[in-house]
């Protein structure tokens, strides 16, 4: 049997190479080499960047977004952030992305910062890091150009990384945290919709009350107009003649007859002004 030389940093459980099948699960779990192999779930939260240069030195303010590539895996995976308008100094995204990595040993994460342009998006800067060298937590990545050269503005990208082995308890907890976060967002949305519903119900009640009040006013006005119409009809030609007395055949009365009729007319009208009576007579004649 071949045995590893002492001092090479290999775990004691793997000294005998031919006996690897006999290694216990606990020993494999404690082996840092096994932790870098196999499937895993990678979460990347892109927080923000600093001092992004202008890609064409035109002096225009960039509209940056970040594209994330996972190379070296069975399938190239690509996701991107939203676009931040007119901010190349300190854009903030605070967006989280999840990747399922099948070959962690060979996977490479590449961040490309792009400038959104109507004529075609422009490359600004980038950074790459192998999954094997990745450490979880908050990390600041130094960005460079496509040739790997350092840029004059020394741009940086801040991210948060978390890794969970596929099917592990950590992955389960991550899923639970994501579920709880979605649940809180839905409860918040529910409260907002309930508040909006109450406001709409209140406005509906106010409109119903206003409609009833308006309908009542319309009915009162119609009743008042009907009473005025009945009063005008009552002032017909016969009533006017009885108030004014008979006239001559030619339609005129003498002064003496006018003086005799005036007291009688005043009594019958109960003191109504003659000018108002003339207006009423003219209105009645018009109606007839």
Q: Which two tokens stand for residue 141?
A: 């990545």
Q: What is the pTM of this model?
A: 0.51
In whole angstroms, give the CA distance from residue 7 to residue 190: 62
Helix (H, G, I), strand (E, B) or coil at 175: helix
List pLDDT tens digits, range 221-247. Answer: 888 888 777 776 666 655 565 655 554
What is residue 113's predicted lDDT score, i.e. its pLDDT? Answer: 97
pLDDT-derived band at 176 (thresholds 50, 70, 90) equals: confident
pLDDT-derived band at 260 (thresholds 50, 70, 90) equals: low
In whole angstroms, give the CA distance from residue 232 to residue 18: 122
pLDDT-derived band at 24 (thresholds 50, 70, 90) equals: very low
Q: Which two tokens stand for residue 76?
A: 């190239």
Q: What's the chain's length in residues? A: 288
């Amino acid at each position: 049997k071949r045995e590893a030389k002492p001092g090479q940093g290999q775990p004691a459980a793997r000294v005998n190479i031919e006996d690897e099948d006999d290694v216990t699960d606990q020993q494999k779990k404690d082996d840092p080499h096994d932790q870098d192999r196999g499937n895993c779930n990678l979460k990347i939260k892109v927080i923000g960047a600093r001092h992004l240069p202008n890609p064409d030195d035109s002096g225009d303010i960039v509209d940056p977004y970040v594209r994330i590539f996972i190379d070296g895996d069975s399938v190239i995976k690509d996701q991107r952030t939203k676009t931040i308008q007119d901010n190349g100094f300190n854009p903030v995204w605070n967006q989280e992305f999840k990747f399922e990595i099948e070959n962690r040993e060979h996977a490479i994460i590449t961040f490309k910062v792009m400038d959104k342009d109507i004529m075609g998006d422009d490359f600004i800067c980038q950074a790459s890091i192998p999954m094997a060298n990745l450490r979880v937590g908050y990390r600041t990545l130094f960005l460079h150009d496509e040739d790997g050269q350092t840029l004059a503005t020394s741009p940086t990208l801040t991210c948060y990384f978390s890794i969970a082995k596929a099917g592990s308890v950590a992955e389960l907890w991550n899923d639970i945290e994501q579920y709880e976060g979605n649940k809180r967002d839905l409860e918040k949305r529910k409260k907002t919709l309930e508040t909006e519903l109450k406001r709409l119900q209140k406005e509906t009640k106010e409109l119903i009350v206003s409609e009833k009040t308006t309908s009542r006013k319309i009915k009162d006005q119609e009743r008042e107009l009907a009473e005025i119409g009945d009063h005008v009809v009552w002032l017909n030609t016969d009533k006017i003649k009885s108030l004014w007395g008979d006239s001559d055949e030619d339609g005129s009365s003498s002064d003496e007859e006018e003086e005799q009729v005036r007291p009688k007319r005043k009594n019958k009208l109960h003191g109504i002004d003659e000018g108002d009576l003339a207006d009423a007579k003219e209105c009645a004649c018009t109606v007839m």
